[in-house]
């Protein structure tokens, strides 16, 4: 184990109110590309830029583009929680981690068994009718998995994902929960996020302790304030220290 990984293991050992704050890089080892990492969506040639597809104005006019993208993401074989998701769920079960705050919309933390997951940008498996507000899940609409726009069986309006599109506000209760968890944490692990999306990225400023760990493959604006920086893939590092904490 590297010195940095063993410092991480020691700090986890000595903490009992850990908060993990993560982003798309947590799920790249599960096969879902991130946006700004080396193989991210933003480096791919696309007919319509993804920032537009994921904006509320564009979705309102052309929901098909979102569902085509969603189907592409979820059709990949073997998308499942990886060692990072499993390690964090285990820390929570052991009573050491009090919340995962995530910018991800893929639901993989819950699939790994995490209970307290604050999803800042929502979750693409939950759906809501834009007409009558009826709630459903992706499993209720085969056409959504196939990349076609689902329509409400009661009112025929377009059904939308319960995600925060660009141009929409974050849920105030989720934000407040994240602020409280981070402000009261005795260790903050920030992982797999470029810290470029606001207001989410600003939440880590609420941490007041001295165990600020940054696990990210590439530099971020937060590097100067981190107490420990690890550049190795998150899942691999957590798999290494599993059993040592
Ligand atoms: P981002 O793409 O901007 O940044 C991801 C960062 O993670 C990059 O800096 C990259 O170098 C790093 N990284 C990638 N794989 C890593 C690994 N295995 N170990 C360590 N570091 C790794 O992602 P973001 O900051 O989360 O912002 C993108 C926005 O897009 C978020 O708001 C999120 O909602 C959304 N998004 C979600 C998913 C998902 O749910 N899986 C996927 C893509 C984007
Ligand atoms: Zn409806």
Q: Which of 43, 109, 121, 151 is catalytic?
A: 121
% of residues, the chain, pLDDT over 90? 84
- Ligand 1 site, CB within 6 A: 23-25, 27-29, 32, 34-37, 40, 103-106, 121, 192-194, 196-197, 215-218, 233-234
Band (61; pLDDT cuts 50, 70, 90): very high
Please give the helix or strand (H or E) that residue 30 lies within, else none. Answer: none
**Residues near ion ligand 2 (Cβ under 5 Å):** 129, 131-132, 134, 152, 154-155, 157
C-alpha 81 to ligand 2 mean position (Å): 32
Q: Quick one: pLDDT at residue 41?
A: 65
CA angle 205, 36, 203 (to 5 degrees): 15
pLDDT greater than 80 at residue 174? yes
- Whether 228 and 4 have beta carbons less than 8 Å apart is answered as yes
Q: Quick one: pLDDT at residue 12?
A: 97
Q: Quick one: pLDDT at residue 102?
A: 98
% of residues, the chain, pLDDT over 70? 97
For residues 207-228, average pLDDT: 96
Number of Cβ within 10 Å of residue 174's Cβ equals 17
Give the pTM: 0.94
1-5, 90-94, 185-189, range with the lowest pLDDT: 1-5
Band (1; pLDDT cuts 50, 70, 90): confident
Q: Which residues pair with 19 in a beta bridge?
A: 99, 188
104 burial level (CB within 10 Å; 0-12, 13-18, 19+): buried
Take atom 10 of ligand 1 and give the residue whose Cα is closest: 37
Residue 35 backbone zone (phi > 0: left; psi -120 to 50: alpha; other: beta): alpha
Q: Quick one: pLDDT at residue 161?
A: 98
Max CA separation in the chain (angstroms): 59
The residue to mutate among 23, 175, 237, having the most atoms of ligand 1 within 8 angstroms of its beta carbon, is 23
Q: Quick one: pLDDT at residue 129?
A: 98
1-5, 59-63, 183-187, 237-241, range with the lowest pLDDT: 1-5
pLDDT greater than 90 at residue 240? yes
Q: Quick one: pLDDT at residue 78?
A: 78
* pLDDT digit string, tens, across residues 89-148: 999 999 999 999 999 999 999 999 999 999 999 999 999 999 999 999 999 999 999 999
Question: Integer distance in angstroms from the first to the last C-alpha of the chain?
Answer: 13
Take atom 6 of ligand 1 and give the residue whose Cα is closest: 193
C-alpha 199 to ligand 1 mean position (Å): 15
Take atom 13 of ligand 1 and give the residue whose Cα is closest: 25
pLDDT greater than 80 at residue 166? yes
For residues 154-163, average pLDDT: 98
Scanning the chain, the segments in alpha helix (DSSP H) are: 3-13, 50-53, 56-61, 63-74, 83-93, 108-111, 142-145, 172-183, 234-241
Q: Which of 130, 205, 138 is nearest to 168 (CA)?
A: 130
C-alpha 31 to ligand 1 mean position (Å): 12
For residues 32-39, average pLDDT: 82
Q: State the ligand closest to the CA atom of 33.
A: 1
C-alpha 151 to ligand 2 mean position (Å): 8
Confirm whether 43 is a catalytic residue. Answer: no
CA distance 93 to 116: 11
């Amino acid at each position: 184990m590297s010195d940095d990984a063993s410092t991480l293991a020691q700090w986890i050992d000595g903490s009992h109110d850990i908060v993990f704050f993560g982003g798309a890089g947590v799920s790249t080892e599960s096969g879902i590309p991130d946006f700004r990492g080396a193989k991210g969506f933003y480096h791919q040639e696309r007919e319509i830029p993804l920032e537009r597809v994921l904006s509320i104005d564009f979705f309102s006019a052309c929901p098909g583009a979102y569902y085509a993208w969603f189907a592409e993401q979820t059709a990949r074989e073997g998308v499942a929680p990886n060692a990072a998701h499993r390690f964090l769920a285990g820390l929570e079960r052991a009573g050491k981690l009090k919340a995962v705050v995530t910018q991800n919309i893929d639901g993989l933390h819950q699939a790994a068994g995490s209970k307290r997951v604050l999803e800042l940008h929502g979750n693409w498996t939950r759906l809501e009718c834009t007409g009558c507000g009826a709630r459903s899940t992706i499993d209720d609409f085969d056409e959504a998995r196939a990349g076609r726009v689902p329509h409400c069986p009661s009112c025929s309006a377009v059904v939308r994902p319960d995600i925060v599109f660009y141009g929409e506000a974050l849920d105030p209760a989720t934000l407040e929960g994240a602020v409280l968890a981070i402000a009261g944490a005795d260790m903050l692990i920030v992982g797999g996020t470029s810290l470029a999306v606001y207001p989410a990225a600003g939440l880590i400023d609420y941490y007041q302790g001295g165990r600020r760990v940054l696990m990210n493959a590439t530099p971020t604006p937060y590097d100067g304030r981190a107490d420990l920086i690890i550049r190795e893939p998150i899942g691999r590092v957590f798999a290494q220290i599993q059993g040592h904490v």
